[in-house]
Amino acid sequence: MSVIENTKQLAPTGTWTADPVHSHVSFEVAYAGVNTFRGGFTDFDVTLVGGDEPSLEGAAKIASVDVKDENLNAHLQAPDFFDAERYPEISFRATELRRVDGDRVEGAGELTIKGVTHHVAVTGAVAAAPVTDPMGRERLGLRLETGIDRTEYGVSWNAPNQTGGDYVANDVTLIAELALIRQDA
């Protein structure tokens, strides 16, 4: 059984990988000035190495984008959105992650979309401590979020709406809700 002895430690020492069934990698963007449009990726990998100097890396396959409409899924893979043929993945590598004020997480990292990499700040939350599931595996919950301007990554498609403005906002929220399983227990 792992216990986080140092409350500043993000996760216990060891390697943790995302359980794709119980994790979700998604995005949210204002649409038409009337609602928030949401989508996600069904094929992704995330690895967290816990301990005093945690590291986290992850990638999502563009071909797995899911917005509940096959035609729109295909459009999002086109060059004016994610350009899946030339850039098959979105990736993130944390350069800093730390637990602050109990279960809050702050940090930074490098986000790459369409071959363009920018430094981003991340915030979120981590479970107070791991739990053991019915199969005897240790699990740890981690939620990370960042906001980006999609046009800075070359994701530029838009159309004007009837009231002025555009259908798709430039500001996008990226969210990773991760159920991590310890691999080296």
For residues 14 and 49, the answer to whether their CB atoms sit within 8 Å is: yes
pLDDT in tens, 51-64: 999 999 999 999 99
Structure-block tokens of residue 81? 């959105």
Residue with tokens 């035609």: 71
Q: Is the confidence at residue 6, as pLDDT, over 60?
A: no
| Residue 57: per-residue pLDDT | 98
Helix (H) or strand (E) holding 74: helix 70-76
pLDDT above 70 for 23: yes
> For residue 5, what pLDDT is reported?
41
| Spatial separation of the C-alpha atoms in residues 9 and 3, rounded to whole Å | 10
**Percent of the chain clearing pLDDT 70 (strictly above):** 96
Whether the per-residue pLDDT at 3 is higher than 70: the answer is no
b/e sequence 122-133, b meaning 16+ C-beta within 10 Å: bebbbbeebeee
Q: Which band of pLDDT confidence, cut at 50, 70 and 90, is reported for residue 4?
A: very low
Name the DSSP letter for residue 77: T
**Domain spans of the chain, in order of start:** 14-182
Domain 14-182's class? Answer: mainly beta
- Render pLDDT for 101-111 as a digit per residue (tens, 0 to 9): 889 999 999 99
3-state secondary structure of 70: helix
Task: Write down the mean pLDDT value for the chain.
Answer: 93
Q: What is the pLDDT of residue 185?
A: 61
149 has a pLDDT exceeding 70: yes
Return phi, psi of residue 114, to 5°.
55, 40
